[in-house]
């Protein structure tokens, strides 16, 4: 475990002090000589302990292009570069990253339980595909009710078009998006508008093109096999420099970019058998930073293991992550809505598993999984509802389909409304995927812009093999084609047409209800009861907080079904009805129901009743 990482400033790469002097530090433990070359000059770095090389100089200025030279051989970009103005193969450029004029001093991060998340991809969210263009849409998101944007990875990747998971410069912000200053400006503006920023980062692998880390040191190990080749070296020989690299990266986003939360991609693919897991160590340093600055930051992980060790506190011998994505809620919801049973969906029965996801978070918490061919998962006991992020769709569940179909391509308008309701009444953190709130009709396809032909061929071949598991017919759109990228952009003009505008208003009202109704707002997993009826394809979800109750009646069938409200002496007031005419529904349900009443729920509809209409103020 690394004890001496300063939390106040970045210590690797090129950094400027208040006087403008530059300190250049690079980890190259096997090198005999390290030089920095810039503007026709070449300066030698001095060897330090633990494989680091360092130079202090007044000759480097912000905005200078530079490269490192190891042992007098090939010139290489900086592994801790903050900016790659000419892409992954070009020179690095110095940036005075701490000199941004922040105006968010009064900003206080939201409580995690209050997050209404909205996942977006910078390149396709707007026609321009930049951070500056996102800023122009913040008032729109605010009006919708979103208070936290989750930005897909921005670490520098090859070319201009990529999901972001092929990033190879972990510290450099994508040049075509607006670079570091553009991201800082976006976050500053978000905070001015009361919106938190979650940044997606990838610590389980690096992309294949422009990945020069291996030339500097043992950043990778053949101790483990991963889908991307050798694993990042978190626990093999000489791993301290690697661990420091990623810990410093997490600290940089929080300290120098004022990011509110990190979403760590696929942490189940991080291989680390150290006594202190790298996630624990990142958490320890983030805790130190928060104590020093007084700011609050969260660590949210994508996890495919159903293992509460990741989200238990370190006092409980856990890794201390604040929350995790749970794909199983999505899978159960998707199977319930579409009956799709291919690939990993084959493990899910539909509405029974959806009820279990509401009740228990994990669907598989020790049972035998046919898809995995083993007993899988563990029970969620003390973890709170705010520790789980749920969704009806996200970039993976849309973009990893061969044709990138959104839910709007797969189900009816009525079912889209029901799915939105199913997510927003859950006792978990809800997340929308950009454009779902108006039923975007463009797909979200997989796209890349590599320059290596062998790699391009491998990507095309890999995609084809991946879809074989889902028995997909036909050919996938070419990931390299410009039209694949352009066809994935949102069509903002749809919002002004029907039924898209009605759906947008529907989302807006439903989000507001979640914020205002105590039984929905409070994420107490002990106050949840979910009752499925597989024959009728209905689900009754009962949630309560103190004296406020919410009864959520969902009908996933294509026929009218009747559901009886719970035994009580309560009189029930309707607060939401997806089948109302104003939502282009078939027939509204009664506004008032007496105790123990039976109510007809329209096909593919959701009703929400409360025992009193005392919304939060």
Q: Where are the beta strands (DSSP E) in 422-521?
A: 429-433
Closest C-alpha among 124, 145, 144 to residue 495: 144
Distance CA 199, CA 252 (A): 12
- Which is catalytic among the residues 235, 236, 256, 265? 265
Strands 22-27 and 52-57: antiparallel
Bridge-based pairing of strands 561-564 and 598-601 is antiparallel
CA distances from 247 to 4, 9, 486 (A): 11, 12, 35
Q: Where are the alpha helices (DSSP H) in 266-378?
A: 278-293, 327-338, 351-360
CA distance 383 to 365: 14
| Exposed / middle / buried, residue 99 (Cβ in 10 Å: 0-12, 13-18, 19+) | exposed
Q: Which residue, chain included where needed, has tokens 């999984």? A: 369
* Contact status, residue 604 vs residue 410, Cβ threshold 8 Å: no
In the annotated binding site, the residues are 263-268, 327-331, 395-400
Can you tell me the distance from the alpha carbon of 576 to that of 586, in angstroms, rounded to the nearest whole number?
14
Q: Which of 302, 360, 437, 577 is catalytic?
A: 302
Number of alpha carbons in the 13 Å side-chain half-sphere of residue 309: 12
452 labelled catalytic: no
* 461 and 359 Cβ atoms separated by less than 8 Å: no
DSSP 387: G
Taking every pair of C-alpha atoms in the chain, what is the biggest distance, in angstroms?
A: 84
302 is catalytic: yes
d(CA 373, CA 364): 12
Cα separation, 601 vs 559, in Å, equals 9
Q: Residues within the annotated binding site for substrate?
A: 263-268, 327-331, 395-400
Asked if residues 242 and 52 have their Cβ atoms less than 8 Å apart, the reply is: no
Which active-site residues does the annotation give?
A: 265, 302
């Amino acid at each position: 475990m690394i004890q001496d990482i300063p939390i106040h400033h970045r210590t690797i790469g090129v950094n400027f002090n208040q006087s403008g002097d530059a300190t250049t530090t690079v980890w190259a433990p096997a090198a005999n000589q390290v030089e920095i070359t810039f503007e026709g000059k070449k300066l030698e770095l001095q060897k330090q302990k633990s494989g680091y090389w360092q130079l202090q100089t007044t000759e480097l200025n912000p905005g200078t292009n530079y490269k490192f030279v190891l042992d007098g051989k090939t010139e290489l970009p900086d592994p801790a570069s903050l900016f790659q103005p000419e892409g992954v193969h070009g020179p690095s450029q110095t940036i005075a990253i701490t000199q941004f004029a922040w105006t968010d001093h009064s900003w206080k991060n939201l409580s995690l339980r209050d997050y209404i998340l909205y996942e977006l991809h910078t390149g396709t969210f707007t026609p321009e595909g930049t951070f500056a263009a996102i800023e122009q849409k913040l008032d729109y998101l605010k009006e919708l009710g979103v208070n936290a944007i989750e930005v897909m990875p921005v670490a520098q990747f090859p070319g201009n078009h990529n999901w972001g998971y092929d990033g190879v410069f972990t510290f450099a912000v994508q040049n075509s998006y607006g670079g570091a200053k553009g991201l800082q400006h976006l976050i500053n503006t978000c905070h001015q508008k009361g919106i938190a920023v979650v940044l997606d980062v990838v610590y389980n692998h690096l992309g294949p093109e422009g990945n020069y880390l291996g030339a500097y040191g043992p950043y990778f190990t053949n101790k483990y096999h991963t889908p991307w080749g050798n694993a990042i070296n978190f626990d093999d020989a000489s791993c301290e420099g690697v661990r420091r690299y990623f810990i410093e990266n997490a600290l940089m986003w929080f300290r120098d970019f004022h990011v509110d939360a990190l979403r760590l991609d696929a942490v189940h693919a991080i291989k680390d058998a150290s006594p202190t897991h790298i996630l624990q160590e990142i958490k320890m340093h983030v805790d130190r930073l928060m104590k020093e600055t007084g700011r609050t930051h969260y660590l949210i992980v994508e996890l495919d293991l159903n293992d509460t060790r990741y989200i238990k506190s370190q006092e409980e011998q856990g890794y201390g992550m604040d929350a995790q994505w749970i794909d199983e809620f999505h899978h159960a919801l998707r199977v319930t809505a579409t009956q799709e049973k291919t690939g990993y969906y084959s493990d899910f029965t539909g509405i029974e598993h959806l009820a279990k996801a509401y009740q228990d978070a994990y669907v598989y918490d020790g049972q035998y999984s046919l898809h995995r061919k083993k007993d899988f998962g563990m029970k969620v006991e003390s973890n709170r509802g705010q520790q789980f992020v749920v969704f009806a769709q996200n970039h993976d569940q849309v973009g990893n389909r061969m044709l990138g179909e959104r839910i709007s391509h797969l189900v009816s308008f009525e079912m889209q409304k029901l799915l939105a309701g199913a997510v927003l009444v859950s006792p978990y953190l809800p997340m929308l995927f950009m454009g779902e709130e108006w039923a975007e009709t463009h797909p979200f396809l997989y796209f890349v812009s590599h320059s290596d032909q062998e790699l391009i061929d491998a990507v095309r071949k890999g995609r084809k093999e991946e879809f074989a598991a889902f028995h997909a017919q036909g050919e996938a759109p070419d990931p390299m084609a410009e039209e694949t990228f352009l066809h994935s952009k949102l069509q903002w003009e749809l919002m002004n047409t029907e039924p898209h505008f009605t759906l947008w208003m529907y989302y807006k009202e439903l989000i507001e209800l979640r914020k205002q109704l105590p039984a929905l707002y409070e994420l107490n997993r002990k106050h949840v009861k979910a009752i499925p009826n597989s024959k009728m394809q209905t689900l009754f979800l009962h949630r309560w907080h103190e004296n406020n109750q919410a009864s959520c009646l969902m009908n996933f069938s294509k026929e009218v079904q009747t559901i009886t409200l719970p035994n009580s002496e309560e009189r029930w007031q309707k607060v939401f009805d997806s089948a109302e005419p104003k939502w282009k529904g078939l027939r509204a349900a009664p506004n008032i129901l007496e105790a123990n009443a039976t109510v007809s729920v329209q096909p593919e509809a959701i009703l929400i009743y409360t025992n009193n209409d005392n919304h939060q103020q």
